[in-house]
Amino acid sequence: MFVIASGMSRRHILTLAEAVEERLKVLGRRPLRREGLEDATWVLLDYGDVVVHVFDEPTRRYYDLERLWADAPRTDFDPAAARA
């Protein structure tokens, strides 16, 4: 499974990545690999069966990972609905 998300700033991207790590750590999961934390335009957290990508908008548009898996099932996430 791939999770693809966008952050609005470097700090936001790092905070999103940290939140993913914290939540999965509670479940006993640690990333096998972490990349991109230095410049934070594209942070990758690889958990083996789940890979989390957190991009800034220009980098996400440039690489367009959704296009590579256009035929894969897709689930959009609505943060407002998740809070309700």
State the residue range of the domain holding 55. Answer: 2-68
- pLDDT value at 80 more than 60: yes
**Residue 25 placed within a domain:** yes
Residues in contact with 66: Cβ distance below 8 Å, sequence separation at least 6, in sequence order? 4, 74
If you ran DSSP here, which 8-state letter would residue 39 be given? T
Q: Report yes or no on 14 lying in a domain.
A: yes
**33-35 and 42-46 strand pairing:** antiparallel
Q: Does 83 reside within a domain?
A: no
Percent of the chain whose predicted confidence (pLDDT) is above 70: 93
- What's residue 84's pLDDT? 57
CATH number of the domain where residue 62 is located? 3.30.460.10
Residue 9: inside a domain, yes or no? yes
Is 33 inside any structural domain? yes
Residue 7 near residue 56, CB atoms below 8 Å: yes
CB atoms within 10 A of CB 40: 21
pLDDT, tens only, 44-69: 999 999 999 999 999 999 999 988 87
Determine the pLDDT at residue 21: 97
Residues 10-48: pLDDT tens digits?
A: 999 999 999 999 999 999 999 999 999 999 999 999 999
> What's the total number of domains in the chain?
1
Place of tokens 């934070």: 40
